[in-house]
Amino acid sequence: MNLFLNKDKSLNNQISIPEEIQNKVKNLPFKNLIYLTHVSQSLAKKANHTTDYVLIYCLSGTGECTTQKDNFQLKANQFILLSPNNTYQYQSDLDHTWKVFSVHFNGNMITELNKTFDLKKFSSPTDINFDGQLVDCWQEIFSSLLKGLTDENIAYANLCLYRFISFFLFPNPAQNTTQGGPGKEDQLDQSITFMKANVHKRLCVDEIAETFRYSPSHYSVLFKQKTGLSPIEYFIRIKIQRASELLTNSNLIVKEIAGEVGYDDPFYFTRIFKKVTGKTPKEYKGSYGSCQMGSTVHRMSDFNHSLVAS
């Protein structure tokens, strides 16, 4: 079955789980405890009424969110959790730097979660620390569904949903046990996740270094010691990895894919893509079947993970 993926100039990525699949999940023990109905990454969303819970997380920038009862600002590293039978909409401020993840979910376990955590307390903007693992978990969910709405892909995305929700219910896990907070190595890993989360942007070394409280020169030295590449070289490879996934799993044209990874000029994007992969985007897509392309993407992913681990 084909997935429903909508694209537009506002970087609007949406995947809806068809009703017939939802009905199937509802009747399956364990799988019906918590399950996804819709995921979205977008700068704006028109008024939408839903019978599901909706978790909206702002990764960067500032925007306005309106529900049936409230109108408020949602800023970077804030989230809200809306109860069912609600109407909501949101849009970015004029600077267009807003990046928002949202998930619609439901299930038989929600009542117990509500009793335990009083979910209504999250109905207004709630602060949460930036966590690269949260962003990675989101990308796992979206990438799994992007591959196609098979039983296996949906089951994997739903299992990832458990962990995704846990980041908001347990915002301060004991993951950094050293005194004084995360070490420098952890900060470098966080900066890599920051790059992945902002693959659609043009980031410079100064901006990344400042975000993680380094001087640009010191950050560059530490980063190259860890990965073997400069921060910008690494960021380019993240962009090309994302572009290869879109070539594999979407029907976007090269110009649209270039825009998705932060290149306004598709010809310049093509030159960069060929420099990294040895093929133009069209050659890359035309040379592989879906299975071969998938393995190629995994090889690129493995390459990047090996850099992180080095």
Element (H, E) at 74: strand 71-75
Strand arrangement of the beta sheet that strand 126-127 belongs to: 5-6, 13-16, 35-42, 99-106, 53-60, 78-82, 126-127
By residue range, what is the domain housing residue 189? 184-309
- Asked whether residue 163 falls in the same domain as residue 213, the answer is no
Q: Phi first, then psi: give them for residue 167, nearest 5 degrees.
A: -65, -30
- Asked whether residue 146 falls in the same domain as residue 268, the answer is no
Residue 134 sits in a domain of what CATH number?
2.60.120.280
Q: Report the SS3 class of residue 205.
A: helix
Residue 279 sits in a domain of what CATH number?
1.10.10.60
Mean pLDDT of 263-281: 93
pTM: 0.63
Beta bridge partners of 135: none
Q: Report the SS3 class of residue 64.
A: strand
| Per-residue pLDDT reduced to its tens digit, 15-60 | 999 999 998 888 888 788 999 999 988 777 777 888 999 999 988 7
d(CA 102, CA 180): 32
Number of domains composing the chain: 2
CA 60 distance to own-chain centroid = 12
- Asked whether residue 152 falls in the same domain as residue 13, the answer is yes
Total H helices, total E strands in the chain: 12, 11
Q: Residue 197: left (phi > 0), alpha (psi -120 to 50), or beta?
A: alpha
Chosen domain end from 108, 136, 169: 169
Q: Report the SS3 class of residue 33.
A: coil
pLDDT higher than 50, residue 228: yes
| Per-residue pLDDT reduced to its tens digit, 171-204 | 765 444 334 444 444 788 889 988 988 898 889 9
| Per-residue pLDDT reduced to its tens digit, 128-156 | 887 878 888 998 999 899 888 998 999 99
Would you say residue 133 lies in a domain?
yes
Would you say residue 266 lies in a domain?
yes
Task: Tokens for 102, please give them.
Answer: 């949202």
Contact 174, 116 (CB under 8 A): no
Q: Report the SS3 class of residue 227.
A: helix
Question: Quick one: pLDDT at residue 221?
Answer: 93
Indicate the residue type of 65: C
Q: Report the SS3 class of residue 160.
A: helix
CA 256 distance to own-chain centroid = 18
Would you say residue 176 lies in a domain?
no
- Asked whether residue 192 falls in the same domain as residue 164, the answer is no
- Asked whether residue 297 falls in the same domain as residue 197, the answer is yes
Would you say residue 174 lies in a domain?
no
Contact 112, 10 (CB under 8 A): no
Q: Report the SS3 class of residue 66.
A: strand
Would you say residue 179 lies in a domain?
no
- Asked whether residue 123 falls in the same domain as residue 79, the answer is yes
